[in-house]
Structures are given as C-alpha cells and as structure tokens.
Chains A and B, each alone.
Chain A
Amino acid sequence: SQTIHQWPATLVQPVGSPLSLECTVEGTSNPNLYWYRQAAGRGLQLLFYSVGIGQISSEVPQNLSASRPQDRQFILSSKKLLLSDSGFYLCAWSVRPTIYEQYFGPGTRLTVT
C-alpha cells in the first residue's frame, strides 16, 4: 500500500531563517506531487505541483521554492522566511494518468516568529 511521509511535524523558525520541508511517498512510482498551505480562515492553497523529476509548476508568487530531486521526494524550501509563511503545509500525491484522486500527508505546522 502507498504511504506518504512529511517531516518535521512541527517547526518554529525565526523570521529570515531558511526552511526545508520534506515529503516522500512509498509504494507508488511516477506520482504527481503537490505542496499546499493551509492558513487560518483561508482554506487550502496550492503552492507547487510536479509531474516528474525536476518538473515544478508554481501557482503563487512567493518566497518559497520547491524541488523534486527523486521520483518520490518533494522538498519545499525558502531562503528567508517571512511571518506570513506561517501555516500548515501539506504534501499530497496522485496517480497519473487516471482519475487524479489526491492523497495527503500528515502535514507540517510551521510557526515563524
């Protein structure tokens, strides 16, 4: 069966510090991968998605970036965090090219102080 891992589970970082969140998927190959952010009162916002190694699409202009160095690994990064980057970050995957049902990881709670 497929599983998706995210770490760390929680993170408190000062403004201006770098960020690296990691997501890995097991039990499937060549998945679509997604990064979402969930902020209070704003719902889920798609940040990045990837259809393959090295292929990243950005949905929202921001100081975040994403990379996919391996087929089942997706990384969210920032060089300098802002207060507005606080939120709950969720990674998800789906199988191509079928019906695109998405499966979510447990999330990372990021607090920027």
Chain B
Amino acid sequence: RKEVEQDPGPFNVPEGATVAFNCTYSNSASQSFFWYRQDCRKEPKLLMSVYSSGNEDGRFTAQLNRASQYISLLIRDSKLSDSATYLCVVKSPGGYNKLIFGAGTRLAVHP
C-alpha cells in the first residue's frame, strides 16, 4: 500500500463548482497532515494544515478522519486560479519532520 494515496484526476470543473479531493495514508502513527498546492514546474506551496477538528480557510475546508486514515479537501466556488495540482502531505512519525507526499490530484477549472 502506498504511504499516501490520492486520486490523480484530472478533475475538470466549471467556475463556481464545488470539488472535493480525498487522500488516504497508511501509517496510523502519523500526526500532522497538510494540503499543498503545486503549479506546473513550481514549488509546492502550503495551502493549509489539517486538524482533527477540521478547519476552514475561506473557500477551502480540510477534514481528517483518523479512524479511517483519510484526509479531504473541499473547494467551494472554484476560481480559474484554483487550477493546479493539490498534494496531500503527511509528516512521517518521528522527530525530524520528513514529509511524505501523495502524487497529487490535478484540478482544471474552466470558464
């Protein structure tokens, strides 16, 4: 089983749509979770951390289900500028903060 698994997409949605991405992770001891956004040939940029209670940042909502080892990202009212690859990222248990990346889910928002 892959350490972090995501549906690669692509998700093609119109502007204004709501889209949800899912991610599963294999190590139940993992404690920290993130969503990063990556534009083509650019660096990953932190979108948001994911907390157990769920958290929201504007149009973006992240949820964590530890029992199912499942993380989600919901984007409401999609904008053209949301087109990117969304990376599910898990911090490896242990002391040195190594990040384990999923392969990413590609989102294309069209007019």
The answer on A and B forming one complex is no
Q: Which residues of B does A touch, CB under 8 Å?
A: none
